[in-house]
Structures are given as structure tokens and as C-alpha cells.
Structure 1
Amino acid sequence: ISIGDHTLFGENVKLYDHNHCYEASPEFKVYPSKFNKAPIKIGSNCWLGSNVTVLKGVTIGDNCIIGAGCTIYQDIPPNTQVINKQDLTFNPL
């Protein structure tokens, strides 16, 4: 895991550079002590908000903002803002 200069993390940020190995066929089986791994690279001058999760193999470019609660599972280009957008619908009582 590499983290660039001047990068900020909010509370409860999680970085997972590994996953359990598993089989899906002929039946589903998880191997508790076998892992596959890939690096995580976070650029300089980034801000990862509270409760962000970054998964293995991801590169986050320089000057990125990752909003609270996001799960990052693919590369994020430099100078990008990522947010969890949730449309709220209010129904009258």
C-alpha cells in the first residue's frame, strides 16, 4: 500500500490489499488461509472521507476527493471527485 504526500483520511477508512481465495464450482468453497493480493496506490493531495473502503488493485490518482461511505473497487483518475449519490424520496404521511 502506498500513500502520497499530503493525503488525508477520515475516520474508519479501510484499505484491503487482499481477498480470500474461493471456488465457485462445482460447489462454493472459501479458503480461510489462502489469499490473492494486489497493491493499492493512493496519490498525493487526496482526501478520503469517513468510512471509505478501498479494495485490492486500485489506484487513486493525485488530487482526488473520495466522499464518505464510498467503496472504491476500480481505478480513479487524477483530479476526480467520487460521491455516494443517494436520491431521497419523501412521501407525505
Structure 2
Amino acid sequence: MAAIIYTVIKEFFVEIHGHPVKARILSPINDDKNFSFQVNSYFKNSSEQEANVPASTFTSYANAERHLLGYLEAFQNTMDLGGDVAPGVNF
């Protein structure tokens, strides 16, 4: 399998309930129609066992950014309601 090299387009740094969260939007080099985002920590609902892991790709930077900001808002809301950070997850 060939390696895919990504370029980081934008990085966000936020703190959510004392947890430093780094997020970034990436796109493969030489592909301006494929965007994804990653976060260094994932969140868990108090009612669900699995971490909420983003696993989507987008066809525009604006969509990727909008979904990333929505993810960070959901992260904040989950912490507010008693959720937790999933252990052992990083980029």
C-alpha cells in the first residue's frame, strides 16, 4: 500500500474542562477535493462505552471546518453533561 502524505491546513487548540484538545484539518498533497479532520483526544458519553471518533472525509474545506467545530462543540457539551475523555487515544 502506497503511503499518503497529508498537508495540515489549519490547527485549532482549545481546552475543554481542563483537557487540552488539538484538532487539525488535513488534505492529501495534490488533492484539493479531499479533506478530513483529526483530534488528539476523543470523548465518551456517560451512557455509551465507545469513544466518539470522527471518521469522515469531506469534499470542501468549509465542510470539514464546520464539522470540526461541531465536533468540538459536541465534545464540550458531553463534558458539561458528565461525559469523559476516552483513555489512551492520540493522533
TM-score (norm: length of structure 1):
0.26
In our comparison, the structure showing a higher alpha carbon Rg is 1
TM-score (norm: length of structure 2):
0.27
Could you say which structure has the higher helix fraction? 2
